[in-house]
Amino acid sequence: MATFEVPPLEGSPDPAADGGGEFELLLQKIREWLGSGELQAQWQRFRGPLKGLAILIGVVLLLRIYASLISTLDSLPVVGGLLELVGLIAAVRFTLTKMVRKSDREQVFADWSRRWNDFRGRE
């Protein structure tokens, strides 16, 4: 175990009363560090990874909540089959109304392509 001794600051009347001046020295170092602009440089450097980490944590949390909700609904006897039936009816209805005619199909694919490009930030 290492022991560090910090000398008291100059101009301190009684080193024993201040406890050696460590706290004032720490405050001085923090003020110098904040005033140097190093904090802003570090924030710019770590902002991208921190944002990515926050998004990752948010997605994992959302997926855990979603999985627990689905497992709760699946544990109910009738709900699982009923939701499958609703999904099947929705898929068949979408297919019959939007995928039968060529013009409707092209419009759906163009809309999906536009949305995908908007999501990716492309024109």
pLDDT exceeds 60 at position 18: no
Q: Which residue has the higher pLDDT, 62 or 14?
A: 62
> What pLDDT, in 10s, does the model give residues 26-76?
888 888 888 887 777 777 787 888 888 999 999 999 999 999 998 998 888
* Per-residue pLDDT, 32: 86
CA 20 from chain centre, in angstroms, equals 43
Tell me the backbone φ, ψ of residue 36, rounded to 5 degrees: -75, -15
Question: What are the contacts of 22-27 at 24+ separation with CB within 8 A?
Answer: none
- Nearest alpha carbon to residue 68 among 58, 60, 56: 60
Q: Which stretches within the chain are classed as H helix?
A: 15-18, 22-35, 38-75, 79-98, 102-120
pLDDT band at 9 (very low <50, low <70, confident <90, very high): low
> Which sign, positive or negative, has the C-alpha torsion 97, 102, 103, 106?
positive
